Amino acid sequence: MNHTLLRTMTQLLIAPIMVFALYVQFHGDFGPGGGFQAGVIFAAAVILYGIVFGIRAAKKAIPDGILRAMAAFGVLLYGGVGVATMLLGGRYLEYGVLAHDPVHGQHYGIILVELGVGIAVASVMILIFYAFASRGEPDDR
Amino acid sequence: MIDEIIGLYNYWVVIFLMMTGFYVVIASTNLVKKIIGLNIFQTSVFILYITMGKVADGTAPILEEGITSYSNPLPHVLILTAIVVGVATTAVGLALVVRIKEAYDTIEEDEIHDQDDSL
Amino acid sequence: MMLTIIDLTLLFFLVVIAIAVVRIKDLFAATMLLGIYSLLSASIFVTLDAVDVAFTEASVGAGISTILALSTLSLTARIEKGHPGPTWIPILVCAVTGLTLIYATFDMPWFGDPDAPIHQHVAPHYLEASAEEIDIPNVVTSVLASYRGFDTFGETVVVFTALVAVLLLLGGRKGEDNESNQNKDEGGAS
């Protein structure tokens, strides 16, 4: 697409959208929000970039391979918190053992788990968009 | 009777929306339209759950001093995750439609049956 | 009272949009209507106190779903062929199912009833104890990540599995496994 207006506005918007995604991610304990929403909002920023500047440019900015690794990493981070609590003597996903004070342990656990969800959801949504968008451009591989 | 209407109208509208989605799924021959119908059905189920979680005079379940009555947070959690899972499974369905289009060059159900001599 | 009027108006718009989706043949228009439908249902979630759900529905339902459906349309066809007029057997099936469900609603607790069974089981514990046990204000987050952490882990894995399925379906090169499809695919690619 070659609309100057669209391109300029997109450039202006992408950074605030990503910052908002981080706000939603880490403010989820206090207000509406959390990993699922933050991941989707972050993905929306990349998808916007892909729509306006082309899927090739988006893939150059955030390559396929990294996203595949990140999607797996997000799920592993969630599962890993569970394994860590087991190694520390608790049950699976019993966050209380992560710190001396069980309430602080809950805080750490929830932040880590939400981070895992956010990373996984963002990568999955971007990759699904890449898969659909690349299907229309068979040379772009 | 009036009490029942006030107490239950939300469910009735939800059921109407559900059946609209159901109709699109079974009556439409276009595969993308079927997935759109499934999405309508899915969203109406979300509204049903959230309706059940509402408490009259309650407020959003974010703890604050001076507020005693909150709506039920459990359906919110279930539906929140269901929405994200729903879009992921919709993506799988749409990917299948794209592959069907590539294999049969159509996304109309009856034309696919004609090509396969099935049905 | 004000909330009831807002609620009724939003539900009315939902019904109108659902009927429009059934009748419209242009799949592009149907997809955009579906986006509006999602956004309206997000507003309903706000009136029903489910702010987290509204947030998710607005970003996922109205945003990502619409994008995915539009990308599919660009790869397939924009106009539904279909047959003219309504088909009676599906209408009959839907009417019978709908009436049965409406009959069942008379056993449901009334809208907003604080004594409904759903509010008696574990929900009061979550609301009362989460301030001490977890000490974060948003109860939805504490139930999502801590009390119901297993569920959420399962959902995350489902999302990941869906990604694997999409990549299996669309990730490979077109027509790689079938030589005879090669020409047709190249003709259909935009």
What does the pLDDT read at residue C184? 46
Of A40, A119, A32, which is closest to residue A81 (Cα–Cα)?
A: A119
| CA pair distance C146, A108, nearest whole angstrom | 11
Residues C75-111 pLDDT 10s: 888 888 866 666 889 999 999 999 999 999 888 888 8
Scored b (16 or more CB within 10 A) or e, A28-62 reads bbebbbbbbbbbbbbbbbbbbbbbbbebeebbeeb
* ipTM over the 0.85 cut-off: yes
Distance from CA of A22 to the nearest CA of C (A): 15
Q: Residue C86: CB partners within 8 Å, gap ≥ 6?
A: B27
- Taking the CB of residue A112, how many other CB atoms lie within 10 A of it? 18
A40 vs C contacts (CB less than 8 Å):
56, 59-60, 63-64
User: Could you give the 3-state DSSP secondary structure of residue C10?
Assistant: helix
User: Could you give the 3-state DSSP secondary structure of residue A141?
Assistant: coil
Q: What is the mean pLDDT of residues A39-61?
A: 92
User: What number does CATH give the domain B2-56+70-116?
Assistant: 1.10.287.3510
**Model confidence band, residue A97 (pLDDT cutoffs 50, 70, 90):** confident
| CA pair distance C172, A24, nearest whole angstrom | 35
Q: In the structure encoding, which two tokens stand for residue C4, read together?
A: 């009831």
Interface chains of chain A (3 or more CB pairs under 8 Å): B, C
Q: Do A29 and C56 touch (CB under 8 A)?
A: no
When CB atoms are compared, the residue of B19, B50, B91 closest to C45 is: B50
Interface chains of chain B (3 or more CB pairs under 8 Å): A, C
- Percentage of residues in chain B with pLDDT exceeding 70? 99
CA dihedral C115, C119, C125, C127 (to 10 degrees): -100
Higher pLDDT among residues A59 and B1, named by residue:
A59
B91 vs A contacts (CB less than 8 Å):
128, 132
Q: Do A136 and C170 touch (CB under 8 A)?
A: no
| CA pair distance A77, A115, nearest whole angstrom | 8
A28 touches chain C (CB under 8 A): yes
Cα Dmax for chain B = 69
Own/partner long-range contacts of C182-187 (Cβ < 8 Å, ≥24 apart)? C184/B102, C184/B105, C185/A138, C185/B102, C186/A138
The answer to the question of residue A119 being in a domain is yes
Interface chains of chain C (3 or more CB pairs under 8 Å): A, B
What does the pLDDT read at residue C181? 46
Answer yes or no: is pLDDT of C14 > 70: yes
Q: What is the mean pLDDT of residues C3-29?
A: 91
| CA pair distance A89, A100, nearest whole angstrom | 13
A40 vs B contacts (CB less than 8 Å):
84
A50 touches chain C (CB under 8 A): no
**Model confidence band, residue B6 (pLDDT cutoffs 50, 70, 90):** confident
The answer to the question of residue A121 being in a domain is yes
C52 vs A contacts (CB less than 8 Å):
32-34, 37
Q: Do A40 and C134 touch (CB under 8 A)?
A: no
Domain extent for A34? 4-135
Q: What is the mean pLDDT of residues A68-93?
A: 92
Chain-centre distance for alpha carbon C95: 22
The answer to the question of residue A140 being in a domain is no
What does the pLDDT read at residue A34? 86
Q: Give the nearest chain B residue to A33 (CA atoms).
A: B80
**What are the residue boundaries of the structural domains of chain B, listed by start?**
2-56+70-116
Q: What is the pTM of this model?
A: 0.90
Answer yes or no: is pLDDT of C69 > 60: yes
| CA pair distance B22, B44, nearest whole angstrom | 11
Which residue has tokens 């939003």? Answer: C10
Three-state SS string over B87-105 comes to: HHHHHHHHHHHHHHHHHHC
| CA pair distance C176, A125, nearest whole angstrom | 25
Residues A12-42 pLDDT 10s: 999 999 999 999 999 888 888 888 999 999 9
Q: Do A124 and B88 touch (CB under 8 A)?
A: yes
Query: What residues of chain A, 82 to 121, have a C-beta less than 8 Å from chain C?
Result: 82, 92-93, 95, 102-103, 106-107, 109-110, 113-114, 116-117, 120-121
Q: State how far the alpha carbon of C183 is from the alpha carbons of A122, A140, B98, C169, C175, in Å.
A: 36, 18, 17, 19, 9
A124 touches chain B (CB under 8 A): yes
Q: Which of C139, C163, C176 to mutate to test the interface with A (most CBs of A within 10 A)?
A: C163
Size of interface B-C (CB pairs under 8 A): 286
* Total residue count of chain A as it appears in this document: 141
CA dihedral C37, C40, C42, C47 (to 10 degrees): -150
Phi, psi of C175 (to 5 degrees): 65, 15
Residues C136-177 pLDDT 10s: 888 888 888 888 889 999 999 999 999 999 999 998 766 555
Size of interface A-C (CB pairs under 8 A): 145
Residues B41-65 pLDDT 10s: 999 999 999 998 888 888 888 888 8
